[in-house]
Amino acid sequence: MQTTSTYKILVVDDDPDIVEMLHYNLTREGYHVAQAGNGKTAIEEAQAFKPDIILLDVMMPVLDGIAACRQLRDISEFRHTHIIFLTARSEEFSEVAAFEAGADDFLTKPIKPRALLSRLAAFKRRDAQQDEISNVIEIAGLRIDRTSFAVYKGDSKITLPKKEFELLSFLAATPNKVFSREELLHNIWGSDVYVIARTVDVHIRKVREKIGEENIRTIKGVGYKFNTD
C-alpha cells in the first residue's frame, strides 16, 4: 500500500485555472502531480507518469474524457487505475455513460478542494483494505485470485476492470446470499462516492458478458446473488 507522499495523480483539464488550483491543493497534501490539457495528451502522460488516480475532465478538445477513459481502460496497466471524472453542472452528462466508459466516480464543478481530498482519501482506504486480502476463491468453475485481480474459468484467464472484479469477488465471497443494489453500492463504491443504483446493473451486465450468465442471478425487486444452485 502506498502512502500519500508516493500517490501519483494525473490532472486532465483544458482549463489552466482548474489545473493550477488542483495542482496546488494536491501537492500541498503531499501527492505527486502531473497534468495534461486534453484526452490525447492524458493517455501519453499516463503511460509515462504511471498515475494511481486520474482526474479527468469530460469536455475537452482533441479527445474528450469519455473517449480517453475508454482508451485508458483498454491499456492493461490502467485497468485498475482510479479514474474520477470532472464535469460541469451545465453539461448534458450521463452518469451511466461515465461508468460505462470505466469511471470509478465523478465530481461536479466547481471543484471543492475539501470534497476532492475526502474522495481521494476514500479511494486510498479501499486500496489499503484490498491490500490486506490475500485469499483465492474457487467456486462454480471460477478461480478468483484477489491478490492479483485475476479470474480464471477453466484454463482461460478473464480480465476484468477493477470495479467489475471487486463486484464479482464480493458476491462470490458469500455465495447464494442476496445483496440489494444499495448494499453493493456501499460495499464496492463506498459511502463517500456518489453513484446511482443503475451503476450496479451496468457492472453486473459487463461481468456476465465475460464470465457467463449463470453465475450471477437477479432476484427481481431485491438485488443480486452469486449462484451455485
Q: With the C-alpha atoms ordered 93, 96, 102, 103, is the resulting torsion angle positive or negative?
A: positive
- At 99, the amino acid letter reads F
Q: Is the pLDDT of residue 153 over 70?
A: yes
- Give the whole-angstrom CA distance, residue 138 versus residue 154: 11
DSSP 189: I
Angle at 83 between CA 24 and CA 4, to 5 degrees: 50
- Going by the DSSP 8-state scheme, the letter that residue 114 receives in this structure is H
pLDDT digits (tens, 9 = 90+) for 182-221: 889 888 887 666 667 788 999 999 999 999 888 999 998 8
**pLDDT tier at 134 (50, 70, 90 boundaries)?**
very low
Q: How many CB atoms lie within 10 A of CB 20?
A: 13
pLDDT in tens, 76-105: 889 888 899 988 755 556 667 777 888 888
pLDDT given for residue 185 in this prediction? 87
> Strand, coil or helix: what is 143?
strand
**Structural domain spans, the chain:** 4-130, 134-226
Q: What is the CA radius of gyration of the chain?
A: 18
Please report the DSSP string for 200-228 in residue order: HHHHHHHHHHHH-TTSEEEETTTEEEE--
Domain 4-130 has what CATH class?
Answer: alpha beta
More confidently predicted of 135 and 134: 135
pLDDT of residue 130: 61
* Mean pLDDT across the chain: 86
CATH of domain 134-226: 1.10.10.10
